[in-house]
Amino acid sequence: MAELFRMSAAEIAEAVRDGEVSAIEVTDAHLARIEQVEPQVRAFLHVAADQAREAARAVDQRRAAGGELGPLAGVPLALKDVFTTRDMPTTCGSRILGDWLPPYDATITRRLREAGVVILGKTNMDEFAMGSSTENSAFGPSHNPWDLGRVPGGSSGGSSAAVAAYEAPLGIGTDTGGSISQPGSVCGVVGVKPTYGGNSRYGVVAFASSLDTPGPLARTVLDAALLHEVMSGHDPCDATSIDAPVPPVVAAARQADVSGMTIGVVPEFTGEGFQPGVLARFGEAVELLESLGAKLTEVSCPHFSYALPAYYLIAPSECSSNLARFDAMRYGIRVGDDGTRSAEEVMALTRAEGFGAEVKRRIMLGTYALSSGYYDAYYGKAQQVRTLITRDFEAAFDRVDVLISPTTPTTAFPLGERVDDPMAMYLADLCTIPSDLAGNAALSVPCGLSPEDGLPVGLQIMVPVLADDRMYRVGAAVEAALDARRGYPLLNDAKGLA
């Protein structure tokens, strides 16, 4: 058997079920790996070794007692620190929550526990999921396992780095403007933004409620699909949760076949501003899909270039409203309550000290866009653009089964490069934002290394609402063909930790 921490989630689950290895051995192997590489990667904000071992022992006991084990029982997972956990702190990468211990579990946290998934700890993120690099975390950035001097993407960069560094076979992130696909892409792993409403937001600390979507990160498309099925499904506690069956994503990942499919290339996402090596690998992926029996065609989506400006009005507007709850009264830190100051003054002092620069920028931007006199010109117009983008998708999906583009315009950028240039940072999400605004699903699968810098490039596969299974079919086909051509998994080339 391979080193335990290098096994896929599917392999671990099977080995635990068959009794070839115990869940506690698997968990201990991952905790040892975390201890070994965490000083360099810094993917976790909190490692919950005791709780993880307890969860693993429960799986082993259930098996010993002859109980049924689910498809991911005994598999370790890295959970983004935006999901509430009763037995682990939840910070959202912010100082404002202090040492908050949530009084309840998120629905997804609960589903993981019930499935016997072993939560190893909580991963780093841009503060309140606002960012593309983890550099907006109040606790410092995580590092890309391909090159420790580069960002792991964001905001779910702790989870993507943990998966790429073999600290966990599975990670969970949340996507609002690309916060799963983009870190997945730059870390050379699979990142999935499911259809909006397919995954419960109950217990996910809110950033932009009409966009926030939890989803899986994994080293293989099949592993992502297995996690997708465990975490998804209707939740009465979330009024935006869709009451429909979860699309058959595991079967689609096993099918891994694109013959007869029609695939559209979005020309708006292959031109200026894209790194040449990213475009080269993307072009090869197009040829590969053709050779696998898909029919490729170009499909223009003329309003996609307005997605980024629309997003940077809609998301900050919703954030300015959602983050009003951090008022220093019921949880988190309180600053300046000396008996003379009013509640409003204490609130303003606490928020000024507790929030970082990007969160302040976005709260103020949202306050501006929603304020009287500007609402129609900014927020109202952005909502109309959202309609235009949805119509672009609908017209495209009348002609093709899926759309593809590079996931990000560039590979992982150096730490520090964009920290104080918000507009440059925002461009990292150029290609991922349309799917967030329209609510449809998208998956990023690695499609090789950019020749300029040897860093991973992601292929983004976008599919209609509730057709999540289609992107797994395409992603698994690309993954299988590229692995076969290379002869080994792409992550073997990651030298940052060598």
Partner 1 sequence: MPIARDDVAHLARLSRLALAEDELDHLAPQLDEIIAAVARVQEVAAEGIPPTSHAVPLVNVFRDDTEVPCLDAETVLSQAPAVEQQRFRVPRILVED
Kindly state the smallest distance separating residue 337's Cβ from partner 1, in Å.
5
Enumerate residues 229-248 that contact partner 1 by CB under 8 A. Answer: 236-237, 239-240, 242
Stretch that binds partner 1, among 157-165, 408-416, 432-440, 445-453 (CB under 8 A): 432-440
β-bridge pairing 402-406 and 262-265 = parallel
371: contact with partner 1 by CB under 8 A: yes
Enumerate residues 300-329 that contact partner 1 by CB under 8 A. Answer: 303, 306, 309-310, 312-313, 320, 324, 327-329
Enumerate residues 389-408 that contact partner 1 by CB under 8 A. Answer: 390
E strands, 162-228, in order? 170-175, 190-193, 213-218
CB 279 within 8 A of CB 270: yes
Alpha-carbon Rg for the chain, nearest whole angstrom, is 21
424: contact with partner 1 by CB under 8 A: no
332: contact with partner 1 by CB under 8 A: yes
Q: Any idea which residues carry the catalytic annotation? A: 80, 155, 179
Which residues have CB under 8 Å from 58's CB, separation 6+?
116
Binding residue for partner 1 (CB under 8 A) from 387, 416, 451, 486?
387
Kindly state the smallest distance separating residue 359's Cβ from partner 1, in Å.
10
Enumerate residues 454-483 that contact partner 1 by CB under 8 A. Answer: 465
3-state secondary structure of 406: strand
Please name the residue ranges forming H helices in 181-265. Answer: 181-187, 221-231, 249-255
- Short-list 131, 179, 160, 151, CA closest to 413: 151
Binding residue for partner 1 (CB under 8 A) from 61, 291, 297, 384?
384
66: contact with partner 1 by CB under 8 A: no
Task: Count the site residues for partner 1 by CB under 8 A.
Answer: 73
- Short-list 311, 316, 315, 312, CA closest to 366: 316
387-444-44-213 Cα dihedral, nearest 10 degrees: 30
Kindly state the smallest distance separating residue 129's Cβ from partner 1, in Å.
17
Enumerate residues 102-131 that contact partner 1 by CB under 8 A. Answer: 102-104
Kindly state the smallest distance separating residue 305's Cβ from partner 1, in Å.
9
Q: Is 291 exposed, middle or buried (0-12, 13-18, 19+ CB in 10 A)?
A: exposed
Side-chain-side CA neighbours of 73 within 13 Å: the count stands at 22
Which residues have CB under 8 Å from 229's CB, separation 6+?
71, 246, 249, 250
Kindly state the smallest distance separating residue 425's Cβ from partner 1, in Å.
11
96: contact with partner 1 by CB under 8 A: no
Kindly state the smallest distance separating residue 340's Cβ from partner 1, in Å.
9
149: contact with partner 1 by CB under 8 A: no
375: contact with partner 1 by CB under 8 A: no
Binding residue for partner 1 (CB under 8 A) from 164, 189, 382, 463?
382
95: contact with partner 1 by CB under 8 A: no
Kindly state the smallest distance separating residue 243's Cβ from partner 1, in Å.
9
Binding residue for partner 1 (CB under 8 A) from 381, 481, 483, 497?
381
Measured from the CB atom, is 279 or 349 closer to partner 1? 349
Kindly state the smallest distance separating residue 344's Cβ from partner 1, in Å.
7
DSSP code for 413: P
Kindly state the smallest distance separating residue 428's Cβ from partner 1, in Å.
15
224: contact with partner 1 by CB under 8 A: no
Stretch that binds partner 1, among 41-49, 71-79, 263-271, 339-347 (CB under 8 A): 339-347
CB 75 within 8 A of CB 17: no
377: contact with partner 1 by CB under 8 A: yes
- Short-list 87, 171, 146, 94, CA closest to 125: 94
Its sign, for the CA torsion 464, 465, 470, 476, is: positive
First to last CA, the chain: 22
| Backbone conformation region of residue 163, classed left if phi is above 0, alpha if psi is from -120 to 50, else beta | alpha
Measured from the CB atom, is 31 or 385 closer to partner 1? 385
Sketch the per residue contact string, 348 through 367, with partner 1: x for CB under 8 A, - otherwise: xx-xx--x-x--xx-xxx-x
- Short-list 336, 80, 56, CA closest to 184: 80
454: its two tokens: 């040897």
Binding residue for partner 1 (CB under 8 A) from 66, 330, 484, 485?
330
69: contact with partner 1 by CB under 8 A: no
Q: Element (H or E) spanning 433, and its range?
A: helix 433-438
Sketch the per residue contact string, 185 through 204, with partner 1: x for CB under 8 A, - otherwise: -----------xx-------
19: contact with partner 1 by CB under 8 A: no
- Is the backbone peptide bond immediately before 159 cis, with ω within 30 degrees of 0? no
